[in-house]
Amino acid sequence: MSGVSDETWRLLKEKLVLAALWSKEQNESLRRSARRLLSGYRWSEPVHQIVFELVMKAPLSRRDILKSGLPALLTRRGFPDYDLSWLSTEVSSEQAIASLRELAGQTRHHDRTP
């Protein structure tokens, strides 16, 4: 992680995980892993929390409808004009799982610090 702050690293990993979950190629196994590994995770940005909750609640078949409604939802929650282009990032399943595990490890580390 040389040259990258902890906060920047965490934001990048969060965006990778969320982009993978948002992807049409996303599968139920990835969702289960995310639900299990990131339950109780404290997201770096409120928008990340909103996207995670939304994608976890929505059926895979409704992804296109969610994509069109997300900007309006974020505006209602106080985040107008938020750049969501990072949700289109292509992420391999392996990269997504690795990032999930790294974030889950960060959560355990932060829970132990005073």
Give the model confidence (pLDDT) of 101-114 as tens digits: 999 987 544 443 44
Per-residue pLDDT band for 20 (boundaries 50, 70, 90) equals very high
Rounded average pLDDT over 34-50 = 92
Number of domains in the chain: 1
Mean predicted confidence (pLDDT) in 72-96: 89
Residue 101 belongs to some domain of the structure:
yes
The Cα 56–Cα 34 span in angstroms is: 9
Burial of 82 from C-beta contacts in 10 A (0-12 / 13-18 / 19+): middle
User: Residue 67: inside a domain, yes or no?
Assistant: yes
Residue 26 has a pLDDT of 66
Q: Give the containing element (helix H, strand E) for 32.
A: helix 28-37
Which domain range does residue 34 map to? Answer: 6-112
Taking 70 as the threshold, does the pLDDT of residue 22 lie above it?
A: yes
Under 8 Å between Cβ of 11 and 44: yes
- The arithmetic mean of pLDDT across residues 20-42, rounded, is 86
* 1 found inside a domain: no
- Check pLDDT > 90 for residue 100: yes
